Amino acid sequence: MAHCFSTPTPVNLTAEATMQVNQFQKKLISTCCMWSANPATAISMAFLFLVVTAAHAQASDVDLRKEVESPVSGLTSVSISNNLNFDAGPFERNAYSLQIQPLLPFQISKDWLVVPRILINAVLYEPDPLRSKGGTTGFGDTTPTFFFSPTRAGALIWGFGPSLLMPTATNSALGNGKWGLGPSVAVFWQPKWGTIGGIVQNVWSFAGDPNRASVNQMTLELSGQFNLPKDWYLSTQPEIDANWNEMSKNRWLVPVGGGIGKIFRVGKQSLDGTLLFYRNAVRPDMIPSAKWQMTAQVALLYPKKKSNQD
């Protein structure tokens, strides 16, 4: 299944997958032009284009380095998540976000991988929670993280690296207006029955709009999957947020819930689909926030090509 973090290595892409990567690059160029009015957004999208290009180039070189040991499995993926937040504020407004998250690993040495994980809020709709109508639509902030992970991993997978907050939002209601930086650590255990683990990061602002509030926020992404027959699995992937700049009663957002997922194919393309529901068991008292969440996600998977010896 497609996890938000794994121990991937450079992959052999099929001709069809190579064509899809090239098409993805063209779409990214078009998107950069569309958002060129916002310099930070253009930088973010251009950066993503370069990472995709690097991953594509690395895949073509993998046959030249057969002597380098690699993990048994490796995964490059691009996930697309549709997120709905329900019943926020006195008028019970609903918010929407479309997030694109590439996971594009490349090997920097015999023992280490760099795993860029880029969270792009491609489309956001944020309603005015204090009114029955009206809201803001646009591009949100972008958060790239660069994990350093050992290539020789067993059931225990881990990585660490910096997370960067980029103020790419096209409206002040959709982002923080700040540049931020902080550490991120990922730990996952993968027994035969599934996966359990998480990613924790904390970002502090260091530059940006002086009229905007500073950022000091922790994000804890928990992950648990239980494998079922025929490539089905049970899943929970709650994202717990803590805004350390707020008072304790307004600090935490803690969703509880889960759902189901399945790995499947469309033609030769491997895909991973999940449908998840959460109730925000803990949420800010004074700040309007949603009571419920729903996520429908599809990830394009590019697994490592098996050798004849596997």
Least confident of 24-38, 162-176, 267-281: 24-38
pLDDT of 9 reads: 37
At residue 151, does pLDDT exceed 80? yes
Hey, which residues does 100 pair with through a beta bridge?
80, 120
Task: Tokens 């350390």: give the residue.
Answer: 244
Between CA 274 and CA 296 the distance in angstroms is 6
pLDDT of 21 reads: 47
* Every domain of the chain and the residues it spans: 15-303
Q: What is the mean pLDDT of residues 41-47?
A: 47
Q: Which residue has the higher pLDDT, 50 or 174?
A: 174
Beta strands in 9-155 (DSSP E): 75-88, 93-103, 106-107, 112-127, 135-138, 142-150
Between CA 5 and CA 308 the distance in angstroms is 27
Strand pairing class (75-88; 252-266)? unpaired
Q: Which residue has the higher pLDDT, 95 or 13?
A: 95
Mean pLDDT across the chain: 78
Q: Which residue has the higher pLDDT, 307 or 59?
A: 307
In total, the chain counts a number of residues equal to 310
User: Which CA distances in Å does 286 have to 84, 98, 198, 248?
Assistant: 21, 26, 29, 11
At residue 7, does pLDDT exceed 60? no
Range 15-303: architecture per CATH: Beta Barrel (2.40)
pLDDT of 56 reads: 43
